[in-house]
């Protein structure tokens, strides 16, 4: 029989103001979603372009070559 753990794994981050540990549930890396548990987003130009192309309101802009040139200039 599979059971839940007796105690939840808590985030290991501490608050600067109080010094108390964060009591949120930790992810696999030991931190909660607020203290570094989730992705920080795309880092490369191609990754950012893919993320923007998934947005409906931006996909029309991205098909314009002039707008792509502007994005390349800003990312450098």
pLDDT (tens digit per residue) in 52-75: 777 766 767 777 788 778 877 876
pTM over 0.85: no
User: Does 35 share its domain with 49?
Assistant: no
Q: For position 37, what pLDDT does the model report?
A: 61
Q: Enumerate residues 6+ apart whose C-beta is below 8 A from 35.
A: 11, 13, 22, 24
38, 42, 49: which is closest to 72 by C-alpha? 49
Is residue 2 in some structural domain? no
Count of domains for the chain: 2
Backbone φ, ψ for residue 25 (5° rounding): -70, 130
Q: What's the pLDDT at 15?
A: 80
Please list, in sequence order, all residues whose beta carbon lies within 8 angstroms of the beta carbon of residue 75, skipping any fewer than 6 positions away: 45, 48
For residue 34, the enclosing domain spans 7-39
54 within a domain of the structure (yes/no)? yes
Estimate the crossing angle of helix 65-75 against helix 45-53, to 10 degrees. 140
Q: How high does pLDDT run on average in the chain?
A: 77
């Amino acid at each position: 029989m599979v059971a839940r753990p007796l105690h939840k794994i808590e985030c290991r981050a501490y608050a600067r103001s109080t010094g108390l540990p964060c009591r949120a549930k930790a992810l696999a890396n030991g931190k909660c979603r607020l203290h570094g548990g989730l992705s920080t987003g795309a880092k490369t130009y191609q990754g950012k372009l893919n993320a923007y192309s998934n947005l409906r309101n931006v996909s029309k802009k991205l098909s314009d070559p002039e707008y792509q040139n502007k994005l390349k200039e800003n990312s450098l």
